Amino acid sequence: MNVIVWNENRHEKINPVVAEIYPDGIHGAIASFLQTEEIEVKTATLDEVEHGLTDEVLNETDVLVWWGHMAHDEVEDTVVEKVYHRVLAGMGLVVLHSAHFSKIFKKLMGTSCDLKWREVGEKERLWVVDPSHPITSGLDQWIDIEKEEMYGEHFDIPTPDQLLFISWFEGGEVFRSGATYQRGKGKIFYFRPGHETYPTYYHKEIQTVIKNGVNWVRGDNTPTPEYGNVDPLETISKNKTKEID
């Protein structure tokens, strides 16, 4: 499996707190725990040519992991369009934390993807609400995170195909923190934790969820259906061929 971890890589350059927590960047931290003998992981960042997502890179990518926050508007629409069509064609997409507001996620969801937030650093309890799903495999009933940014409802997303996690925060808010979707042939997993000023991506259970998510969204290479006007004689001919086979 070929995985690209994409990150703006901006906070790490201007915020010493973030640079200390993630000296190799958030993308580097995520790539390090995803890399295995079976998974080839590379990274791409905003300031690279085509944001590191050239046609050649995208065409070889099975799963794209996306983290963004302060520079959503700097992502070129042409790149967003390419990623969008790759997802429809079967590339998996894992959207992390504040990437809920990324151009690609909003385009795929068709909504504002807006929410409430509060950045004071408070305890989060992430409840597993679907223990039968492959993404929640290996987890207990909940995950505790000592300090995280609060996200609260209403979260303006379409009703998820599957809701996997609900967060509770010390301030009393709850949030749909893990949701899956399918668009075309592509699977999408949104996962909330991961504010840049907290070491959330070193949390073993958070790593487990992201690993499981990457494995789950990977495409299965099903054939693309034929679309458009269909000649009934051609359909009959194909059916007869199948009967002979």
CB contact at 8 A, 109 and 157: yes
Q: Which two tokens stand for residue 172?
A: 């009393």
Tens digit of each residue's pLDDT (9 = 90 or more) over 157-206: 999 999 999 999 999 999 999 999 999 999 999 999 999 999 999 999 99
What is the distance between the alpha carbons of residues 57 and 111, in angstroms, rounded to a whole number? 28
CB contact at 8 A, 87 and 183: yes
Residue 90 confidence class, pLDDT cut points 50, 70, 90 = very high
User: How high is the pLDDT of residue 229?
Assistant: 83
Rounded to two decimals, the pTM is 0.93
In terms of residues, how long is the chain? 245
Pick the CATH number of 2-113+175-224 from 3.30.420.40, 3.30.470.20, 3.90.1200.10, 3.40.50.880: 3.40.50.880
Amino acid at 60: E
Beta bridge partners of 143: 126
Q: Is the pLDDT of residue 238 over 80?
A: no
Tens digit of each residue's pLDDT (9 = 90 or more) over 112-169: 999 999 999 999 999 999 999 999 999 999 999 999 999 999 999 999 999 999 999 9
What is the distance between the alpha carbons of residues 153 and 31, in angstroms, rounded to a whole number? 30
User: How high is the pLDDT of residue 235?
Assistant: 60
